[in-house]
Structure 1
Amino acid sequence: MATSEAVRGIVPTFRLPADQVARYRAAGYWRDASLPGYLARCAERFPDRRAVVDGDRVRTFGQLWEEARSVAGALRDLGLRRGEVVGFQLPNWIEALPVHFGTLLAGGVANPIPPILREREVGFILRQTGARFLVGPESFRRFDFSDMYRRLADEAPALEHVALARTADPDDPRSLDRWLRAPAPPAADLLPLAGRGDEAAIVLYTSGTTADPKGAVHTHDGFACGVRHIGELFGLNENDRLFNPSPITHTTGLTVALTLPVLTGCSVVLQDVWEPEGAFDAITRDRSTFMIFATPFLAALTDIAEARDVTLDHVRAIACGGADVPESLAGRARSRLGEIVRIYGATEANATTCGSPWDPADKKRGTEGTWIHPTVGRVVAVGTDDPVPNGTVGEIQWQAPQMCQGYLDAGLNAAAFTDDGYFRTGDLGVLDAEGFLTVRGRIKDIINRGGEKISAREIEDLLYEHPSVHEVAVTPMPDPVLGEKICAWVVPVPGAPLSLTDVTAHLSGYGLARQKLPERLELVDELPRTASGKIQKFVLRDRLGGRR
């Protein structure tokens, strides 16, 4: 059990240059505001307006504000101190909203943990954050979380208080309902306790496309700024209805389901387990107008719309990111689901570029769009911080008011941030003369075949056009002579034959150089992904003995 002296408050670990901070404040990007203050404003303006739907559970803004205050009061009664972390490993359940805002309202720091993570990863996060408080489901998708949390007691000795959502026994002393039904302290007593401005608000862990997740520290002003810019870009307001299947414990879900509603007054429908038919029905029934999610969600919904021969004319826009969006898929989706644009961001900043519905079709579907004002970005020579000319592939770097303020492990900051305040993304990209960015994969996605550097993204983009390919990932495989060769991992269209000869003939038809042709084809039922839909290529490489 942690003593009061051992309780650690989370603080930002990286500071932007002072002149840049002054510009953000003077321009109003940073407003010295508090995230739960936005919920308080919505509850005051329209307390009876629907805010969130989760199956047959519905909450208005007034009800959410009441529950958030109850959670905040319960946490304060349990001894939560300013800057202390509260972890929550909740699915896309309505309870996540009062837990998130209640934590912030009590002066704590919210730490969303994806439900797909298990003992090893959760234990690492709890130890690194020093969390004494953890909220999760009693069980979800046939997994016993309560039993895992009991086992974690030895691995995370600071952990003192566990609250379980949707317990089978409503009288269970660990039930989250006890927090939700606790007396709600007056707002005037709580709001002065809440963090604000450049204080830490959220510790969000990278989603695991590599083996080493990192805890990015976001401030109240920084996270609100990024979400606000998305809302302004798409003209979202209280009349919009969002649909969110992305995990609320990931930057996309945290943006769409937990923050956009309180910044704009719109409502959101949650889906806790991805089920395409159910998602399509929910979008149709609620007449959803806006969504942000990854490629697999878009592909599944497009398939259903085509199979049912329907067009969703109420959808104004879908921003798709987190994974490559093949142009052929974007075109099909556009004809059935509304305007499709690509969006680019990271755990370290929820969005930095985005397409616009008014962009030319080739830019809208073939690029990640332009920098979202006031984000400033550049492409630099790999291994340096020196900008390269437009049209040249290099590493993408950006700086923005929505950028995280360092990692919980401050030792990671020097490699991640430049002296002039840019974030080194590790992504490869190219800017064209008009300022449109195209992501070309990760630096680690470069395959070194006998000294020649080959882009996995280039091969993937071409393979997506094969009629038998449903999904594809290209990785290196170890070779004793060349160092690395090329392996293509393909989820084939059901019933469609596909061989390595088919693959190489298809690629050769595009005039691709012979050294870029895969030497191995692995047909798989599915590709390993993070909760947000990103392909975990390190898992595929490890299957070939190619850890790097």
Structure 2
Amino acid sequence: MESLFNFRQVLRSRELGGRHFDWVQWDLLQRNAALYGAREAFVDTFWGVEPAHRRRKTWAEAFYEVNTIIFHLLDRGLPRRSLVVSHLPNCLESVYLDQVTSKLSWIHAGLNVDLGKAETLAALQKLKPDVAVIVAEWHGRELLEWYREARELLPHLKIFIVRRPGERVPEDVEAFDQLLDPGIWSRYQLTDLAYLKTDPLNVHELLPTAGTTGVPKLSQRTTLDWFHVHSVAIAERAGHTAYDARLLIGPLSGGSGRLWGVHTPLYTGGRSVYLTEFDEPTVLRLTEEERITLWVWNPALITRVVTHPAFADATLETLRLVSYSGAPFSRDILETLWDRGVPAFNVYGTSEVGGCMSPILPGISREHLLSAAGVPFEGFDVPVIDAAGRRLPPGEVGEILIWNVHHGYWDAPDESRATYHETDPDDPWYGYQHTGDLGVYDDSGYLRVVGRKKDMILRGSQNIFPKEIEDWLSPHPMVRDIAVVGMPDPVLGERVCAFVVPTPGTQPTVADFQAYLAERGVAKFKWPERVELVEAMPLGPGGKIQKARLRERIHEILARESRT
């Protein structure tokens, strides 16, 4: 395992205002058990969404059960730096594994439960885990069979099954709930854990990048960079307290899931509710019954909730914030939430370096909250540069770069050095990730993302940023979702094509959109010149629209048309 980390990064992060501590997740769990012992910490819907089926754990109960699991794993004599894979839907066991592995100095890699067999086997071959904690089956995916197949090449692999009541576990694997047997305390005691010296600089988590095809790369994260800088900064900027209750809508296996669903509540002592299977009415029901104050996940899922017929009459009296990341929100959805008294804020960043900024600041204007990516967190440097590598002043559009403490990818040293531009020591942006996003700072220090460098459309000599057109057209009454891409043109090079998921019962046309934009004074060269209606957008694992697939689709359509 090779890492790009060196201690000079810690010093630079400190110079940029980053704060660092000597604890890991288990230490915060211990603190919360002492401070808030009987207060509810975690709720999940893995056994069912009805109140009687929701599992509830206080901080004291969670601390006891996490330590019980630790003792059982120690009793099995596993190596000190074991690697554990969790392949689970949102559930308490996934949360517990983060605290367990932090104390054991193990490495935890979470895989999205929606991965297919090919991606799963490729990931296991790359990771070579010592332990796998999985569900046996998930919506027709026979995970246990896949892991049995993987065990032919990984004979040392121990498999634990997380099960619902009444589910049987085959003899060749173990039930995870056996690790909760309290009988282990007859041989171990809490003071034994003092021998487990933890290090916040150790790689602790492997997070999948937001790749769109194949097996995503795994970003190496430590408590120092992943927890201290991001979770502390975000929690404090958003004003999180021990009295907040967040509803995690998306998967815990991703970066946003870990950040909001595990790290932030550990830091603040707040309560977390984990939705195992997404359903719009269930989100609204849980928000009311669990008195949720914060929604978390990507715009695609939250948009489905906000546009659902039940949203208009939903009780949202406790909801005070919506946090999203991974993709831009349409402005009309943001306005709808704002009008319900619930501001939504973006946490901008990448899978590799995490969230690096947020617009939440005291006295923030409505316009900044609706349109800006934000102001960088302490410990980050987020410049905007031109093609010559010059740091640009406010008002000029360029590529967004991010620097923070970083380690690179798991078992991919060449790709790590390339991503962080650490191949040439003389590179002025050595150690920075080039995001491929285009952005511009305003005079107040807020960054606005205007699009993707590779998505920019060049129509003749005019640069067109798709996000700008998407923002203009999203409020159109016939638009449920929209993605703008460039389509090839023999004269101008590219023209604007809009892929649209229409609202039910409508069929918007080019003329509809052009008239709409003309009324709003949008320059004519930016208008869509083709509209393709689709039932749904192709989404990547992080919830981002896969524009590469849309570009491929319009190329194929144009090729077919040219042959007829």
- TM > 0.5: yes
Show the counterpart of 2:55: 57
Structure 1 counterpart of 2:64: 66
**Partner-residue secondary structure (3-state), 1:430:** strand
Residue 506 of structure 1: aligned partner: 516
Number of matched pairs: 532
Aligned equivalent of 2:50: none
Q: Which residue of 2 aligns with 1:268?
A: 272
- In 2, Cα distance between the equivalents of 1:240 and 1:53? 13
Q: Decide which moves more: 13-22 or 109-118.
A: 13-22
Distance in 1, matches of 2:163 and 2:453, equals 43
1:131 Cα deviation (Å)? 1.8
In structure 2, C-alpha distance between the alignment counterparts of 1:375 and 1:332, rounded to whole Å: 32
Whether 1:364 and 2:369 are equivalent positions in the alignment is: yes
Structure 2 contact 458–494 (Cα < 8 Å) conserved: yes
The answer to whether the Cα contact below 8 Å between 2:330 and 2:470 also exists between their aligned partners in 1 is: no
Amino acid paired to 2:160:
A
Displacement after TM superposition at 1:92 (Å): 0.8
How do 1:149-548 residues align onto structure 2 when only pairs under 5 Å count? 149-153=147-151, 157=154, 160-166=157-163, 168-170=167-169, 172=171, 173-181=173-181, 183=184, 185-193=188-196, 195-209=198-212, 213-225=216-228, 226-304=230-308, 307-310=311-314, 312-356=316-360, 358-382=363-387, 384-400=388-404, 403-408=405-410, 409-418=412-421, 419-449=429-459, 453-478=463-488, 484-544=494-554
* Aligned residue identity for 2:507: P
Q: 2:42 corresponds to which letter in structure 1? A: V
Structure 1 residues 15 and 504, CA, compared in 2 at 3 Å: closer, same or farther?
A: same
Quick check: 2:101–2:204 contact (8 Å CA) kept in 1? no
SS in 2 for 1:235: coil
C-alpha separation between the residues in 2 aligned to 1:453 and 1:28?
37
Equivalent position amino acid for 1:76 in 2: L
- Distance (Å, rounded) in 2 between the aligned partners of 1:20 and 1:223: 13
Distance 2:301 2:7 in 1: 39
Distance 1:473 1:194 in 2: 50
For 1:541, the aligned partner's letter is R
Q: Deviations over 1:86-130 (max 9, x none)?
A: 111111111111222222222211111111211222223222222
Q: CA deviation at 1:451?
A: 6.8
Aligned to 2:560: none
Q: Is the 8 A contact 2:439 2:448 kept in 1?
A: yes
After superposing on structure 2, the runs of 4+ consecutive aligned residues of structure 1 that deviate more than 6 Å are: 25-28
CA spacing shift, 1:487–1:360, aligned 2, 3 Å: same
Deviations 1:281-338 (A, max 9, x none): 1011111112332223333333358754456232222223322122222121112252
Cα RMSD over matched residues? 2.8
Relative distance call for 1:466 and 1:93 in structure 2 (3 A) is: same
d(CA) in 1 for partners of 2:130 and 2:397?
A: 45
Q: Is the 8 A contact 2:17 2:379 kept in 1?
A: no
SS in 1 for 2:538: coil
Q: 1:271 to 1:460 in 2, by over 3 A?
A: same
Secondary structure at the counterpart of residue 269 of structure 1: strand
SS of the residue corresponding to residue 532 of structure 2 reads strand
Q: Which moved more, 1:38-47 or 1:214-223?
A: 38-47
3-state SS of paired residue (1:425): strand
Matches within 5 A, 1:15-164: 15=5, 18=8, 20-21=10-11, 24=14, 29-55=19-45, 56-153=54-151, 157=154, 160-164=157-161
Q: Deviations over 1:230-258 (max 9, x none)?
A: 11112222211111112111111111111
Letter in 2 for 1:416: T
CA contact (8 A) 2:473 2:479 kept: yes
C-alpha contact 2:384 2:397 (8 A) present in aligned 1: yes
Deviates most, 435-444 or 171-180? 171-180
Question: Could you list the per-position Cα deviations for residues 246-278 of structure 1 after superposition, in whole angstroms to 9, with x for gaps in the alignment?
Answer: 211111111111112221111111111111111
For structure 2, the 5+ residue unaligned runs are 46-53, 422-428, 557-564
Query: What is the rounded CA distance, in whole Å, between the counterparts of 1:356 and 1:395 in structure 2?
Result: 23
The one-letter code of the counterpart of 2:248 is: N
Query: How far off is 1:26 after superposition?
Result: 11
User: Partner letter of residue 136 of structure 1?
Assistant: I
| 1:6 matched residue in structure 2 | none
Match of 1:7 in 2: none
CA distance in 2 between counterparts of 1:370 and 1:362 reads 14
SS in 2 for 1:445: coil
Q: Aligned to 2:511, what secondary structure does the other structure show?
A: helix
Shift of 1:45: 2.7
Alpha-carbon distance between aligned partners in 2 of 1:518 and 1:77, rounded to the nearest angstrom: 64
- Distance (whole Å) between structure 2 residues aligned to residue 477 and residue 300 of structure 1: 28
Matched position secondary structure for 1:444: coil
Give the deviation of 1:23 after TM superposition. 5.5
* Paired residue type of 2:481: E
Unaligned runs of 5+ in 1: 1-9
Paired letter, 1:80: L
Range that drifts further, 251-260 or 496-505: 496-505
Superposition deviation, residue 200 in structure 1: 0.4
In the alignment, the residues of structure 2 paired with residue 333 and residue 305 of structure 1 have an alpha-carbon distance, to the nearest angstrom, of: 14
